[in-house]
Amino acid sequence: MKKLLTLFLFLVSIHETIIVSASAVQGGPLAPSLSPVSSSFSSPVYASMSAFSPGFQLGSEEHKKKDPPKKMLIALILACSSLAAIISSLFCLWVYYNKNSHKSTRNDDAEKGTGLTPFFGKFKPTRTVSKESNTSFMDYKMLEKSTDKFHEGNILGEGGFGCVYKAQFDAGTFAAVKKLDCKNQDAEKEFQNEVNLLCKFKHPNIISLLGFSSENESRFIVYELMHNGSLETQIHGPSQGSSLTWDRRMKIALDTARGLEHLHEHCNPPVIHRDLKPSNILLDSNFNAKLSDFGLAVNDAAHNKNNLKLSGTLGYVAPEYLLDGKLTDKSDVYAFGVVLLELLLGRKPVEKLAPAQCQSIVTWAMPQLTDRSKLPDIVDPVIRNTMDLKHLYQVAAVAVLCVQPEPGYRPLIADVLHSLIPLVPMELGGTLRVTQAAAP
């Protein structure tokens, strides 16, 4: 705006110069003598005419006699031309100013985007790159300090490309830091894919991304810390599911279904997780479940255009994907059915019977899940006889539908969600009244 005002004053000075020059050409002194009537008239055209013609007064007969009409016409043309030049210049400057202002705004917005291609050598420590999720590119030294140089005592879990560490920052806050060894292209792609997706998600049943970093061939993803670890640790770890009551297990199933429903129904395009399993379902201090590990996730539009390499975990991969490479949202539903069986039975998805022989939980449980006389006997001993049998039969029926060999026979995750809501107490996010719940 200061530049705009400066140019305006400059153009006004040019206007005055033109007036003075015109008066000099006419040979008359520049000494206007306006009558009271003309001085009260606000038109700049009339003011300029008075300046060009000494003694000019609006409606003055004497002026008409002294100044011929030709001189008046020249004065009027020069004044109007000068005024038009000023207005035109100001308009051009205004357009230029606004264009640059919008361009600057677009550049600022571009710097706040979530694209990951250029960030490794560009972003500064703790610089926000996603306005929606407040995701920041973090300083590696800060992560190193917060994890005690990635000490093995801070390891929370291990994955295919690295470990997850517990981190404590100077502000007294805690987080989980996944360290990925990205020496190969697959690990690099998974890292970029996960950060890109988590920047877009904002759902209570999907893990929150706090930041990311890089150092040489290592990549780091920083999440919110989930104090009760993974569902796999709770079921198959040292406690053997002792902290998971029937109601908590149903709540975890419901939370997981809600997270998947957000991916399948509310993301545009829909997202397929592709690696749903208990180790990727994390539990906070209140046993609220959140989906994590989106390195293998794909959107429903992209996977049809690209030949995806078969990925997943044995025991959770749907038959049609394993045999024919056909991937749909029903593949996630199959994996959810296996997780639901683990919650019911307390068994792993694949168990060894002999050195060269394994048995799937689906193959083993399917005949007994549909037999009401046998079903109570195969339930996890930790929760056996603690639930309403009617609810047990309903959950078993949902699990059976989810693990059907033909994807067309499996329900949508939205239908699964609606089936589970009435089985979870109201205080845990369902619609079941406490008076209807069975006594433990």
Q: What is the DSSP letter of 354?
A: E
SS3 327: coil
SS3 159: coil
- 424 near 433, Cβ under 8 Å? no
Q: Both tokens of residue 97?
A: 């100013």
Q: Which residue among 275, 293, 332, 380 is the active-site one?
A: 275
Crossing angle of helices 44-52 and 69-111, in 10° steps, is 130
Strands (E), 122-262: 127-130, 135-137, 155-158, 162-168, 174-181, 209-215, 218-224
- 430 near 421, Cβ under 8 Å? yes
- 87 near 23, Cβ under 8 Å? no
- 282 near 234, Cβ under 8 Å? no
Q: Phi and psi (nearest 5°) for 300?
A: -65, -25
275 is catalytic: yes
SS3 167: strand
Q: What is the DSSP letter of 103?
A: H
Q: Phi and psi (nearest 5°) for 20?
A: -60, -40
C-alpha pair distances (Å), 232 with each of 135, 148, 306, 342: 28, 26, 32, 9
Which of the residues are catalytic? 275
